[in-house]
Structure 1
C-alpha cells in the first residue's frame, strides 16, 4: 500500500536522521508535522515525514488500527495486521533519504504511539529512539518473546488523560523495563489527551540526546 505523506527536508540540506511521525485516531500526518515546526530549529540535520494512516476513520481523518477501549486484546491483532505496510513504508523512506535503519526515530501520538512501540521494538535494526505521547504498548505480555531491538524509549503522558489513562503508560514502562529496554515515563500534571509545549520540550531533548548517543556509540 502506498501511503500519502508530508515530507520536510533537513534544514541544513543534509539529513543525518529521519523522524517519522505516526498520528492518532481520526487525525492525519499534517497534525503531527506541526511538531517539526518546534523542533527543526534545534535539529538542522533531521528530515521529517508524517504519513496519513492506513485506513479512513469513521468520523473523519485516518487511523492505523481500530478504535477500541484501552486494554482490548484486539488492539494487538490490529497492530500485527498494520505492521507489514508500515515497516515497508519506513524502509522506503530511509532509502529515499539515503540513511540506514539505525538513524530512524519514530514519534507517535495515541494509537500512533501504539504503532511506534509495536514497530520499533520489532525492527531488525534498533531505531535511534522511540518517543510516544498519550499512548502505550499493546500485547505487553508478548513483548519479551517478540522483541528484536531495544532502542531507548520515552513516553510522555498527561496525568489528566481520560482517553488513555496514565496507568497504561506506567504499565508500558514496567513491561519494557522488564524486557531490558531503557525506558522513561514522563507524567505531566494538568495535561489531558494532548501534547503541549512542555511535552514537546521533553521530546526534543530526548531525541537530541538519543541521536548524540547513537552518533558516539553506534548501534
Structure 2
C-alpha cells in the first residue's frame, strides 16, 4: 500500500533536487507536520516536502492515524508493528523518489514521536544511504536487532525535550549509544524545560542539519 499526504513543491519552482519526507506522531496525520517545511524552505529552495499519512487508524481516535499500535507495549509486538508499517513506508519512499528522478542520497526523513521511530527504523535498513534522519522526541525501537539488520549509516540528529512526558528523555541517550555502537554519525540536542513537542531551537538545528545533508554536491558515502 502506497501512502499519501500533503506536499509542497520546491520554493524556487522547477524540478526538485532533494526531498524531505515528514512522518507524524500517533493520533495525528500528515497535515500535522507539513507546516514545519515553512521553517526550512528558504534554505532548501529546491527541495520538495511531503508529509505522509500513517497507514492505520489510531487505537484511541479512529479518525486519526498511527504507524503501529501501542495497545500492547511488549517490545517484540511494537517491533513487529513497525516492520509491517515499514513495508508501506519503504515502497512509498521508492515511489516518491522515482517520481522526481532522485536517489536515496537526496532524501532526508524527519519524524516526530512515533514518526521518529519509523524514520530511524526504515532509514537505517534501506540499502542505499539516505542524506540524513532527524528524529524529534522519538526512540530507537528494536535496537537489539540493529546490528544484524542495519544496511546503511546515514547521519542522524536526535532532538528531545528533557521534560518529555510521553517518550522518556532517556530514550535519546539510549538511541545515541546504540547508533554509535554501529558507527552511525549521530548528533544530539537536549531541550531543557521542553515536553513532548518541537520548539524553535530544535527547528533551527534541524534546518542546519538538513541544509548540510542536502547541500548540492553532497553525496552519500
**TM more than 0.5:** yes
Structure 1 alignment gaps of length 5 or more: none
On the 8 A contact 1:128/1:151 being kept in 2, the answer is yes
Aligned residues: CA RMSD: 1.5
Superposition TM-score, scaled by structure 1 size: 0.95
Q: How does 1:51-200 map to 2 (within 5 A)?
A: 51-57=52-58, 58-59=60-61, 60-68=63-71, 72-200=75-203
Alignment partner, residue 208 of structure 1 = 211
On the 8 A contact 2:69/2:78 being kept in 1, the answer is yes
Judged with a 3 Å threshold, the aligned counterparts in structure 2 of structure 1 residues 184 and 71 are, in CA distance, closer, same or farther, namely farther
Q: Deviations over 1:11-61 (max 9, x none)?
A: 112311100000000011111101101111111011000111100113141
The separation in 2 between residues aligned to 1:185 and 1:74, in whole angstroms, is 28
Judged with a 3 Å threshold, the aligned counterparts in structure 2 of structure 1 residues 177 and 199 are, in CA distance, closer, same or farther, namely same
1:215 match: secondary structure: coil
Q: Deviations over 1:61-114 (max 9, x none)?
A: 111011258773322111111111110000000111111121110000000001
Superposition TM-score, scaled by structure 2 size: 0.94
1:108 match: secondary structure: strand
The alignment covers a number of residue pairs equal to 218
The separation in 2 between residues aligned to 1:172 and 1:185, in whole angstroms, is 10
Alignment partner, residue 32 of structure 1 = 33
On the 8 A contact 1:25/1:67 being kept in 2, the answer is no
- Which structure 1 residue ranges, 4+ long, deviate > 6 Å from structure 2? none
Structure 2 alignment gaps of length 5 or more: none
